[in-house]
Structure 1
Amino acid sequence: MRYFALATDYDGTLAADGRVTKDTLTALKQLRASGRKLILVTGRELDDLLQVFEQIDLFDYVVAENGALLYCPASRQEKLLGEPAPTEFIKALRDRQVNPLSVGRVIVATWHPQETAVLETIRDLGLELQVIFNKGAVMVLPSGINKAAGLAAALDEMKLSPHNVVGVGDAENDHAFLSVCECSVAVANALPMLKERVDFVTDSSRGDGVIELIDKLIASDLSELDEQLQRHNILLGTKKDNSEVNIQPSGSSILLAGTSGGGKSTLATAVLERIAEQKYQFCIIDPEGDYENFEGAVVLGDAERSPRLTEVLDLLEKPYENVVVNLLGIAVEDRPAFFAELLPALLELRSRTGRPHWIVVDEAHHLMPASWNPASLTLPQQLEGMMLITVHPDRVAAAGLSLINTIVTVGNSPQENIKAFCEALGDCPPQIAPQTLETGEALAWFRGKQTEPFCFRIAPGHRERRRHARKYAEGELGEDKSFYFQGSQGKLNLRAQNLILFIQIAEGVDDETWLYHLQRGDYSRWFRQAIKDESLAEEAEEIEQNNRTSAHESRDAIKGAIAQHYTLPA
């Protein structure tokens, strides 16, 4: 199951004229019976809501006052998410004859056309308050408080990720919380601007639209919308025509195969960085300690200490904690048994929470060997959000390979990896001509789709870009990629094999030599062709084309441009 909770607005979405119909209530009960949670997200004050909606206990949590108040119907506990409005602010509004005026636990609300008086009062008193508009309502809240902040607080209490939530609304103040939900929905009567920004618009209005959405959730978990949820896609790279190669964060299981040194780690790290950037939770099972320095994840275990199953699960209970399970402290022959115990526990957690969204198994041929008897018992028939990384796909248990729908291979003879994968499953491999991939390239095949395997250039992650930045700044470029200060007469032959030496030599050469290369456009050409930094090259071109710039000024400008792009040693 992908969607574990429905977050819904009240007025104009769930309710019409403040009331919820019996049919809508029946649909809400059916959704709860499916094992999903319900969250009400409303601009109403809690006391007002309790008067008009007696069935509030259908909801696990209520976000009231447009995100300022969290209420648990089961325990009747309230939690303020912002500071109440200052008394002098309330008094000033009343002195200005602002009417009607409603004061909640935190929220202060009125109606159009009182917004001018409200804004002037905030300005005159120098308060850090925000004004939110909603179909004529004027709501005043502390800065940073909105429906998205309130929903986040509710999800923290429930230990759920917004990636496992569907949100539905109808008005301006719903933009914030819908934007953080994995799938955003507007009912048919919603404002046009909201309908333009959501992932799906129901055919029916208000409560009937919510019923329509609930029916789809129960029937298919909204799988029919997967293809149009493009905003969550994970970038792999680009084809020759510059079109992007993406995978969907849900519904994808990847085999990443290839020879050592072929770029598997580069691609895996880049994909994991993008998964983390979008706040999907991942768990990496790392037999060789290759991910012990991965940013944004907690590493459990090392060469001296084996990880404990309980501590892995305790961390993953927190929606935003990513975990690397380092197996160096476990004997090689015992690692498959540890993994056989860990994987069912991860899948049980996923069955309750939808997380971890991704389970990454490095050295999969060791942890899930072809001879591994428990594999068919441990692995379900379908398993999404799985990434298997291996040098030898033919040595991975067939039960594991059968889960894969996306194959990405790097290094020498990439077609052989796809062939080995298919043969291990008894499938007929696609026809692929023998080929050699260049560094930074990969071959992809979306199994089960009517597409042929294709090559693409890997989009490097932050770590890889930083590594290349260090290489260009202080590494050793080859003779054919180095810059040579020679001058107009060719009397010099000063080689700069990186940016540090380029700056050092540039500071020492005479003005005539510096200007000779400047006027020829040699600096921008080197930055573009050897350093492969188009942005730096464009800045250098502007400096080169400024005929009024002196040798001293242009030298400082080029040095400054390099310093902006690369962190050089002091």
Structure 2
Amino acid sequence: MIWKALACDYDGTIASNDRIGAEALAALRAARAAGLRLILVTGRTFFELLRVCETIDLFDAVVAENGGVLYFPARGVLRDHAPPPPPRLLAELDARGIPFQVGRVIVGTWRAEEARVRDTLRTLGMRMAIAYNRAAVMLLPPGISKGDGVRQAVRALGLAHHDVLALGDAENDLDLFAACGWTGCPVNAVPELKDRADFIFPGENGSGVARAIAGPILGNLLPVARSPRHRLAIGWVAETAEPVEIPERGVNVLIQGDPLSGKSWLAGVLIERLLGRRYAVCVVDPEGDYQVLAPVPGVSWFETRSLQTWDHALERFDHDPAACVVLDLSTLEQERKAALIAAGFGLIRERRRRAGPPHWLVLDEAHYWLGKDGVPDGALGVEDKGLCLVTYCASRLRPSVLAAVDVFLLARTAAAAQLDCLREVLARVPADTADLAAVLPGLPMGEFLLLRTEPAGPRTRTFTAAPRMTSHVRHLGKYADGRLPEARRFFFRAPDGRLVATAGSLGEFFQGVGIVGDDVLAFHAARGDFSRWLLEVFADRELGRYLAKLEGRWNRRELHDLRGALERLLGGAIKRAGEARHALRGV
């Protein structure tokens, strides 16, 4: 269940004929027992609410008088967020024979008196806001609304608004809906509210809402991923400019693609778009690929070498429930990364279940950590949703992880083993997966194939990724044919130190990889010479990182054809650099 709190309107929502009935009361107590916080929201005056609501202590926070008064029963704290009604106004209403009720902040009367009330305000030269609640009308100080009161209550309880489900029925609940991430109402709610609701429940008033809480809400049966209000645009269809969207909540995402296919770019798009919608994101970055996000507002980057640092970094969500935390594990050895990720995921899952944030967890190089002997399902929490797994080797993910994926974002993939894996996994998607082998190997960098298992929207489409706030600019002019001074060239040497060949450009380096002996390649890969040279000479962090990963795979004996892997990686980089230069000349 993604919600941590219910924000419930009183009259017509959980209460009927002034009182919370036995059925609604039992449902609210069941919600508390399930760990949900309860926020009572009403336009009634605080004194009137105390008279009719005998179970006010059941709630963690009370927003009364249409947001003008906040009450926290457990602490006995009562706060007025506006001054009391002006005595001149009360005297004039009384003199005109207008019936009214006075609260700590608001004045309430009937809708039939609206014209006379407005005339009274004009006569007094007084400016007050007017809010409607079915047959009632309320006079409020400017700036006071249910929405503002709920936002303050949510912050005081340490919650994120994305984790709050609002339940209302009348016009003055529109502000309540705007303050919460999710919205629901009974079928007899006013039309304006039903137009803004994510979920409409059968039944009326307290009994209908009670059955909704006890049934689909606590049973985690609401179709969260199908809500049209909660879609995240990650790109567009090139031919039509139509936006391509995925659900913001309630799904797990897999991003699969070859090295330098654009999958890291797409992961960055997803992260930045989630931050733009104020979702909390935790990025587990084993190779240091996401440090580029550090300058983005709201992002906190941590060099993470211990579980204590990991736990300390997660405390950032206590202070900002819309933060992004990047856990950089790149300075650790592979075995220590695996142990830390396994332990850290347990901390994240416990935090998500207790408090909500982080709403999304992004794991790069997922195939290393989620194989047969990787992070166990119990710590991973695939059923909690909000996982984004990034990999170039989906075939190494265990079946239980692949079965939990709802949205597949596929970049260029050429390896037969990966295509076979995807074809098998996607057999459950009602789409023609037989064409994967024809489509994926030829996808240009920056284009992706979307496939999803949930039925909201088109299930299969090719799209171009959206732009990013953070980007990597390659030094195109230095690539294939730019000549380097002798001191900056690459010197291919045999294990005994004997010079075999030199490379004064990336093109010559590519040629050298193809002609030197296997022992020469193994010698340099073991020392990390290839990636170090690319980073020092060309300052190409992206290609350098991919080369470092390739060297690491060779040294861990995960790669059997070092020459072929180097040629594919370098050949693709040279080709793309040449295409980019050609495009620039044509501008």
| Same fold? TM cut 0.5 | yes
Matched with 2:72 is 72
Matched with 1:361 is 363
What's the CA shift for 1:49?
Answer: 0.4
> How many pairs were matched up?
472
What's the CA shift for 1:135?
Answer: 2.4
What's the CA shift for 1:440?
Answer: 2.6
* 1:351 to 2:353 alignment: yes
Structure 2 CA distance for aligned equivalents of residues 459 and 374 of structure 1 = 30
Matched with 1:434 is 438
AA of the residue aligned to 1:220: G
Matched with 1:15 is 15
What's the CA shift for 1:314?
Answer: 1.4
What's the CA shift for 1:62?
Answer: 0.9
- Alpha carbons of structure 1 residues 369 and 386: separation in structure 2 relative to 1, 3 Å: closer
- Alpha carbons of structure 1 residues 73 and 427: separation in structure 2 relative to 1, 3 Å: closer
Give the secondary structure class of the aligned counterpart of 1:382: helix
What's the CA shift for 1:58?
Answer: 1.7
What's the CA shift for 1:104?
Answer: 2.6
- Alpha carbons of structure 1 residues 129 and 265: separation in structure 2 relative to 1, 3 Å: farther
Matched with 1:257 is 256
- Alpha carbons of structure 1 residues 93 and 137: separation in structure 2 relative to 1, 3 Å: farther
Structure 2 CA distance for aligned equivalents of residues 330 and 415 of structure 1 = 32
- Alpha carbons of structure 1 residues 204 and 97: separation in structure 2 relative to 1, 3 Å: same
Structure 1 CA distance for aligned equivalents of residues 300 and 18 of structure 2 = 50
Matched with 1:184 is 183
Structure 2 CA distance for aligned equivalents of residues 268 and 355 of structure 1 = 19
AA of the residue aligned to 1:297: G
Structure 2 CA distance for aligned equivalents of residues 197 and 450 of structure 1 = 18
- CA contact under 8 A between 1:16 and 1:207: conserved in structure 2? yes
AA of the residue aligned to 2:19: R
Structure 1 CA distance for aligned equivalents of residues 65 and 270 of structure 2 = 39
Structure 1 unaligned regions, length at least 5: 477-528, 534-570
Structure 2 CA distance for aligned equivalents of residues 456 and 89 of structure 1 = 66
- Alpha carbons of structure 1 residues 329 and 64: separation in structure 2 relative to 1, 3 Å: farther
Structure 2 unaligned regions, length at least 5: 478-582
Structure 2 CA distance for aligned equivalents of residues 329 and 316 of structure 1 = 24
Give the secondary structure class of the aligned counterpart of 1:359: strand
Q: Which moved more, 1:337-346 or 1:198-207?
A: 198-207
- CA contact under 8 A between 2:426 and 2:433: conserved in structure 1? no
Matched with 2:42 is 42
- CA contact under 8 A between 1:269 and 1:461: conserved in structure 2? no
Structure 2 CA distance for aligned equivalents of residues 127 and 325 of structure 1 = 55
Kindly provide the CA deviation profile for residues 264-322 of structure 1, in whole angstroms up to 9, marking residues without a partner as x.
23211222222222222111112315244252433232499997123223112342222
Q: Give the TM-score normalised by structure 2.
A: 0.70
Structure 2 CA distance for aligned equivalents of residues 221 and 116 of structure 1 = 46
Q: Which moved more, 1:137-146 or 1:447-456?
A: 447-456
Structure 1 segment 139-178 matched on structure 2, within 5 A: 139-178=138-177
AA of the residue aligned to 2:325: V
Matched with 2:406 is 405
Matched with 1:326 is 328
- CA contact under 8 A between 2:27 and 2:213: conserved in structure 1? yes
Give the secondary structure class of the aligned counterpart of 1:311: helix
- Alpha carbons of structure 1 residues 71 and 460: separation in structure 2 relative to 1, 3 Å: same
Structure 2 CA distance for aligned equivalents of residues 33 and 16 of structure 1 = 23
Structure 1 segment 279-298 matched on structure 2, within 5 A: 279-287=278-286, 288-291=288-291, 292-293=293-294, 295-298=296-299
Give the secondary structure class of the aligned counterpart of 1:208: helix
- Alpha carbons of structure 1 residues 100 and 404: separation in structure 2 relative to 1, 3 Å: same
What's the CA shift for 1:51?
Answer: 0.8
Structure 2 CA distance for aligned equivalents of residues 211 and 254 of structure 1 = 33
Matched with 2:58 is 58
- Alpha carbons of structure 1 residues 86 and 183: separation in structure 2 relative to 1, 3 Å: closer
What's the CA shift for 1:150?
Answer: 1.4
What's the CA shift for 1:171?
Answer: 1.0
Give the secondary structure class of the aligned counterpart of 1:211: helix
Matched with 1:234 is 232
Structure 2 CA distance for aligned equivalents of residues 394 and 388 of structure 1 = 13
- Alpha carbons of structure 1 residues 409 and 25: separation in structure 2 relative to 1, 3 Å: same
Kindly provide the CA deviation profile for residues 383-413 of structure 1, in whole angstroms up to 9, marking residues without a partner as x.
4110111233334455544432322121353
Percent of aligned positions that are identical: 32
Structure 2 CA distance for aligned equivalents of residues 417 and 389 of structure 1 = 14
Give the secondary structure class of the aligned counterpart of 1:167: strand
* 1:444 to 2:450 alignment: yes
Structure 1 CA distance for aligned equivalents of residues 150 and 49 of structure 2 = 17
- Alpha carbons of structure 1 residues 434 and 89: separation in structure 2 relative to 1, 3 Å: farther
Give the secondary structure class of the aligned counterpart of 1:247: strand
Q: Which moved more, 1:449-458 or 1:150-159?
A: 449-458
What's the CA shift for 1:28?
Answer: 2.0
* 1:389 to 2:390 alignment: yes
Q: Which moved more, 1:373-382 or 1:260-269?
A: 373-382
AA of the residue aligned to 1:25: L
Give the secondary structure class of the aligned counterpart of 1:438: coil
- CA contact under 8 A between 1:379 and 1:399: conserved in structure 2? no
Matched with 1:248 is 247
